Amino acid sequence: MISMPPFHLLCTLIGLLLLPLHINSADPDLLQDFCVADLKAPLSVNGFPCKPEAKVTSDDFFFDGLSKEGNTTNIFGWSVTAANVLAFPGLNSLGISMNRVDFAPGGLNPPHSHPRATETGVVIEGKLLVGFVTTSNVFHSKVLTVGQMFVVPKGLVHFQLNVGERKALLFTAFNSHLPGSAVVPTTLFASRPSIPDDVLTKAFQVGNDVIDNIKSKFSS
Ligand code: GLV
Ligand code: MN
């Protein structure tokens, strides 16, 4: 008679068999050549429905939205132009997208994270301090110049600061067609409705005056 393995061994074996199903680095693979997004489709799915193939043209696979410099006249002195599925529907389901990030002198891409993607980037112009913080609270950073690259593991909080004398330009790429971006200052201090002061005063160990002051910087 074949004896059953102990229960904990059975659980471990089942866990090992299922492990590959949990290794999902970013957007899932496509099941066809392409699926140009039909952004106006009334149907709502995880991603976007495909435009009928007969209506797909070459233009769906080209995008010139990153050719123009962004307007950096704002409190952070920066501008992000996204080439994600919303701007470039040909990216739908392909698991990639890019950003153009322009910096005025002293400009900051404020601390933020991308819940759905790892990011890599290359400096095209200028000098940037690039940094991210791990979930163990370790800060990794380096000053990068033209042609130098970085990577930010998925979901970690990161920033870039222009530490050069002139404007700077960065191109970034993501392993998601829609990485999403949670910008720390606006997430915490400019959500709608706002996070109650009681939460923020306790979280940052400061008084209401400090929280109200910060919130006022982001009220439009
Ligand atoms: C830079 O961090 C970017 O998100 O493009
Ligand atoms: Mn980023």
Residue 106 placed within a domain:
yes
Predicted local confidence at residue 127, as pLDDT: 98
Does 172 contact ligand 1 (Cβ within 6 A)?
A: yes
Q: Helix or strand or coil: residue 83? A: strand
Global pTM value: 0.87
Q: Cβ of 183: how many Cβ atoms within 10 Å?
A: 18
- The alpha carbon of 170 and the centre of ligand 2 are apart by a number of angstroms equal to 11
Number of domains, the chain? 2
Predicted local confidence at residue 1, as pLDDT: 47
Does 84 contact ligand 1 (Cβ within 6 A)?
A: no
Burial of 196 (0-12, 13-18, 19+ CB in 10 A): exposed
Given ligand 1 and candidates 78, 101, 151, which is best to mutate, with the most ligand atoms within 8 Å of its CB?
Answer: 101
Predicted local confidence at residue 16, as pLDDT: 44
Contacts of 86 (CB under 8 A, 6+ apart): 39, 178
Asked if residue 85 lies in contact with residue 95, where contact means CB atoms within 8 angstroms, the answer is no
Q: What CATH number has the domain bearing residue 94?
A: 2.60.120.10
Asked if residue 129 lies in contact with residue 143, where contact means CB atoms within 8 angstroms, the answer is yes
Does 72 contact ligand 1 (Cβ within 6 A)?
A: no
> Is 79 found in the same domain as 105?
yes
- The alpha carbon of 99 and the centre of ligand 1 are apart by a number of angstroms equal to 7
The parts of the chain modelled with pLDDT lower than 70 are: 1-25
Contacts of 105 (CB under 8 A, 6+ apart): 77, 162, 164, 165, 166, 167
